[in-house]
């Protein structure tokens, strides 16, 4: 008589398929990272862009920061004004890079790349989030330039591993917020000329209506309301808490609060930009 072999019991290894929700999430993350990798590779082809963008934050620290430190017209409690300013200029450089990130999809539309993306099974949210994270990688390079310049100017900063990890998180998160906002603008205006005009129109109001160069307490009441609605204020607050040893004594919002607010902003921006993304091809 033939002997029947028992079937081997199912293995607990990676051969077992993931549940549907987990598998879809893993695919979403993989596609998001693939898009982000494409954006980072563009940076290697044109490194001069970051070099030219480093000029503006350098001028703010070297000229504005030095002059205002000597004038002492802005009260910053127990720290020097240049110390107070440096995280604000770091956030400004992130904003100025990220807010123009959306022009890339206008170029991609003209080259026919957007139509290929739309025909692919990649989720729209993965497309826009990947581009936003790519903008975060660009901002990290800029952040290193600003921090190095601040250190050369004698700014007192902490460089312990936890502070640096938090710095990376909030630079990438803030850049992703403004990059996805930039994608919304690009999907609405659809041309390079109008996009550049709107981007230049928005950058300075976002910068000045934040706590980047002066404390929120110094602002008029109406401007304080605007500053609390401005995601840049939360990024600046987090960067100061992470970088400046003496900022704990200054009234602040708290890292957890900053993280939650920026994450909510990012989710909203990604949802809106994902809905608008197909419009760029029309």
pLDDT band at 253 (very low <50, low <70, confident <90, very high): low
Mean pLDDT of 114-137: 88
CA torsion sign for 96, 97, 103, 105 is: negative
What does the pLDDT look like over 69-92, one tens digit per residue? 777 777 776 778 888 899 999 999
Give the separation between CA 78 and CA 60, rounded to whole angstroms: 22
Q: What percent of the chain has pLDDT over 90?
A: 37
Q: Which residues contact 76 (CB under 8 A, 6 or more apart)?
A: 83, 84, 215, 250
Contact between 39 and 134 under an 8 Å Cβ cutoff? The reply is yes
Rounded average pLDDT over 258-278: 94
pLDDT at position 7, please? 47
Of the ranges 57-61, 114-118, 239-243, which is most confident?
239-243
- Point out the least confidently predicted range of 66-80, 112-126, 254-268: 66-80
d(CA 242, CA 238): 6
Closest CA to 84 of 214, 207, 252: 214
Count, in order, helices (H) and strands (E) of the chain: 13, 0
* Among the listed residues 122, 170, 196, the one whose alpha carbon sits nearest the alpha carbon of residue 266: 170
pLDDT of residue 68: 81
What's the pLDDT at 50? 66
User: Which of 97, 166, 161, 105 shows the shortest CA–CA distance to 131?
Assistant: 105
Q: How confident is the model at residue 61 (pLDDT cuts 50, 70, 90)?
A: confident
pLDDT band at 271 (very low <50, low <70, confident <90, very high): very high
pTM value surpassing 0.95: no
183 closest CA partner among 253, 257, 276 = 276
Burial of 203 (0-12, 13-18, 19+ CB in 10 A): middle
Q: What is the pLDDT of residues 7-41, one digit of tens each?
A: 444 444 444 455 778 888 888 889 898 888 888 88
């Amino acid at each position: 008589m033939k002997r029947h072999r028992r079937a081997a019991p199912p293995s607990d290894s990676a051969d077992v398929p993931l549940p549907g929700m987990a598998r879809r999430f893993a695919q979403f993350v993989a596609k998001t990272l693939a898009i982000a990798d494409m954006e980072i590779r563009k940076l290697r082809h044109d490194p001069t862009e970051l070099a030219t963008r480093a000029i503006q934050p350098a001028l703010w620290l070297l000229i504005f920061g030095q002059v205002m430190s000597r004038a002492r017209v802005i009260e910053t409690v127990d720290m020097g004004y240049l110390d107070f300013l440096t995280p604000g200029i770091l956030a400004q450089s992130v904003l100025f890079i990220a807010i123009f990130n959306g022009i890339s999809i206008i170029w991609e539309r003209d080259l026919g790349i957007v139509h290929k993306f739309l025909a692919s099974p990649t989720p729209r949210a993965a497309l826009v989030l990947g581009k936003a994270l790519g903008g975060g990688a660009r901002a990290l390079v800029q952040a290193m330039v600003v921090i190095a310049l601040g250190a050369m100017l004698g700014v007192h900063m902490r460089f312990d591993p936890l502070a640096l990890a938090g710095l990376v998180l909030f630079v990438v998160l803030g850049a992703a917020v403004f990059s996805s906002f930039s994608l919304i603008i690009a999907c609405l205006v659809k041309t390079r000329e109008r996009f550049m005009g709107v981007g230049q129109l928005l950058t300075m109001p976002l910068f000045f209506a934040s706590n980047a160069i002066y404390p929120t307490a110094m602002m008029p009441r109406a401007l304080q309301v605007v500053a609390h609605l401005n995601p840049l204020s939360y990024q600046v607050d987090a960067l100061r808490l992470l970088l400046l040893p003496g900022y704990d004594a200054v009234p602040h919002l708290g890292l957890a609060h900053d993280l939650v607010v920026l994450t909510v902003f990012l989710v909203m921006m990604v949802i809106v930009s994902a809905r608008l993304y197909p419009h760029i091809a029309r």
